[in-house]
Amino acid sequence: MLDPPAHFSTVFEEPLTEMVETLQQRGFGLVSGQYVRRILDNITSNLVKYADPCSDILVRFVQEEDRAGLCFENRVLPVPASSESTKVGLPSIETMMEKMQGICRIEQPEGIFRM
């Protein structure tokens, strides 16, 4: 039986911090703890604003060739959120990923948002 759902930060903050520390100890100098925190904050903000709360948010680890990362996938709210978008969240994530020599891919098949 699965544990009951928990807050995102409760589940991911410690493991992601440990992951960053492990990568840095092994000589990977491209991960910025500050950027990782800001990226996760932006992702969380977007999920709160635009994800359909009636559907699960899927978070999975992915690996492609010599890269590893996280994939977030959610159903999009059927009606746009009432709050105005500043349209800076996703470009900020992409910029921070580029500065760490990473990649941010965004896909939007019908009714789904995947990053």
Query: What phi and psi values does residue 14 have, to the nearest 5 degrees?
Result: -65, -50
Averaged confidence pLDDT in the chain: 85
The pLDDT value given to residue 55: 93
Q: What is the mean pLDDT of residues 68-87?
A: 78
Angle between helices 89-99 and 33-50 (to 10 degrees): 160
How far is 58 from 56, CA to CA, in rounded Å?
A: 6
pLDDT band at 112 (very low <50, low <70, confident <90, very high): very high
pLDDT band at 15 (very low <50, low <70, confident <90, very high): confident
pTM of the model: 0.72
pLDDT tens digits, residue range 29-60?
667 778 888 998 999 999 999 999 999 999 99
pLDDT tens digits, residue range 54-73?
999 999 988 888 888 899 99
Determine how β-strand 112-114 pairs with β-strand 67-75: antiparallel
Which tokens is 44 given?
A: 């969380």
